[in-house]
Amino acid sequence: MNEVTVPIERLAFGGAGLGHVGGKVCFVPFTAVGDTARVRITKEKRSYLEGELLGCAPPSAERTEPPCPVFGQCGGCCWQHLPYETQVTAKQEIFCEVLGRIARVDPVLVQPLIPAPSPYGYRTRVQFKVRCINGMLHLGFYRQGSHFVVDVPGRCLIANEQVNHIRETLLPLLTGFPEPHLLPQIDVATGDHGDALLLFHYIGERVPAIMDWMKESLPGPVPVTGIFLQTGRKGTIRKVWGDERVSYTVSSRLFPKLSEVELSFRCGGFSQVHYRQNLALIETVLTWADLRGTERVLDLFCGNGNFSLPVARLCKEVVGIEEFEQSIQDAVTNAKENGISNARFHCMSAEGGLRRLTESGEIFQVVLLDPPRTGAREAVRLIAGTAPEKILYVSCDPPTLARDVAELGKQGYRVAATRAVDMFPQTYHIESVTLLVRS
């Protein structure tokens, strides 16, 4: 079996179209529902096949022309060939399917997905990959499944204008970088108020010389407010020049009779890449938590206080747990700068924090968690020890969310509501909020 015809029936988590060949499921990237796809089989397993799209005869009526000239080569987007309305429908269906199949969540409990205000120009943070080939620098993104760098053709369509402008001004200056073959990545992070940080990843030995070059060549010509150098893990980040933070605003409309919250994070710290949709996440959390001002709230994987500090405005006390020390420092700074005194933060793992809190007999009416893509397998087994009435689970990966929701069901919690938020248009990735209540 090498070349086959596959009628595409639906879109699957992971972004590929799904059809059947000889009784096996076949996944084909860059297809649309309704395509009759001509496919070269690239992988054959016992229960499924994977294939490469060779063409469509006929193509689906749902297809649209991708606006990016390197779509299909660059590994950043997988759905530009689909109208945005189709993407929204597909994500809603995929989200329902994954939760239903793995965690037996009733589709009635899945609320409508919150679409993005704009399907392009939304990313506030971008990691540009760098490759030097025959003396020529390529600055873009990896091709899917490889370390081959595909150049961004002028501008990245899913990045915001500020990120693109920074890349445009930076690119000609990189020809003077002393060791371009030892520069694998450059990160850009932008804020809400024109602030921006630039982080160079360098794997060579000439650190002082590289820092001197950066200090002499970049401030002024490149429109950023801070420049940094990283030579290994995050603990090796050095400031070269400028400010250390970028900030974003949590609107006062989320806080009746209260002022807005201004949150910041330092270079290397985590933040959501889509500030507008981050507000949708926070608003959903605040609405579903339904805080009355008397509750104690535990925020696991709290980061820089993205949820902790908005929540603190509406409850008695928040305790934030996060194992990345820099993020804890950012959370403490953000609490102080916003005049929030009822939030305290601890640098430890979610599991370690839960064990310590349980051993000391601490009780929380609400537990909030926003784990990484791998989910919170160990933490969810310990949450019941703090006796919450409600659990709010923010997730960026439906399969690990569903796995953890199933485990929370064994701990006596049932899903009361869940909804996806489209944080990443043009990709298959799905952010979501799920409310669980004690049975």
pLDDT digits 0-9 by tens, 362-375:
999 999 999 999 99
Q: Do domains 3-63 and 96-117+247-438 have the same CATH topology?
A: no
Query: Which of the 8 DSSP states describes residue 59?
Result: P
Give residue-wise pLDDT tens across range 376-386: 999 999 999 99
Dihedral angle at the C-alpha atoms of 358, 360, 365, 371, nearest 10 degrees?
Answer: -50
The pLDDT assigned to 259 comes to: 87
Of 261, 187, 263, 170, residue with least CA distance to 228 = 187
| CATH 2.40.50.140 for the 3-63 domain, yes or no | yes
Class of domain 96-117+247-438 as given by CATH: alpha beta
Average pLDDT over residues 198-215: 97
Judge whether residue 241 has pLDDT over 80.
yes
Query: Among residues of the chain, what percentage have pLDDT more than 70?
Result: 100
pLDDT at residue 225, rounded to an integer: 98
| Residue 1 banded pLDDT, cuts 50, 70, 90 | low
The DSSP code sequence of 402-427 is HHHHHHHHHTTEEEEEEEEE--STTS
Among 26, 78, 267, 396, the active-site one is 396
Residue range 278-302: average pLDDT?
97
Under CATH, which architecture does the 125-190+196-242 domain have? Beta Barrel (2.40)
Give the SS3 label for residue 172. Answer: helix
The continuous run of DSSP H or E covering 19 comes out as: strand 17-21
Given a contact cutoff of 8 angstroms between Cβ atoms, the answer to whether 297 and 317 are in contact is yes
Q: What pLDDT digit, counting tens, does each position of 132-161 carry? A: 888 788 899 999 888 899 998 889 999 999
Across 306-319, average pLDDT: 97
196 CB-near residues (< 8 Å, 6+ apart): 162, 163, 166, 188, 189, 190, 223, 224, 225, 226, 246
Chain centre to alpha carbon of residue 409: 26
- The domain locations on the chain are 3-63, 96-117+247-438, 125-190+196-242
pTM of the predicted model as reported, rounded to 2 decimal places: 0.95
Residue 125's alpha-carbon distances to 196, 246, 306, in angstroms, are 9, 11, 16
Residue 153 pLDDT: 87
Percentage, residues of the chain above pLDDT 90:
90
Q: Tell me the per-residue pLDDT of 95-112, one tens digit each, with 9 for 90 and over.
A: 999 999 999 999 999 999
User: Residue 356: phi, psi to the nearest 5?
Assistant: -65, -45
Is 156 annotated as catalytic?
A: no
Q: What integer is the mean pLDDT of 300-319?
A: 97
pLDDT, tens only, 12-39: 999 999 999 988 999 999 999 999 999 9
pLDDT, mean of residues 171-178: 92
Element housing 39 (H / E):
strand 36-44
Angle at 331 between CA 325 and CA 336, to 5 degrees: 130
β pairing state of 185-190 and 125-133: antiparallel
Contact criterion met (CB below 8 Å) for 26 and 47: no
* Average per-residue pLDDT for the chain: 95
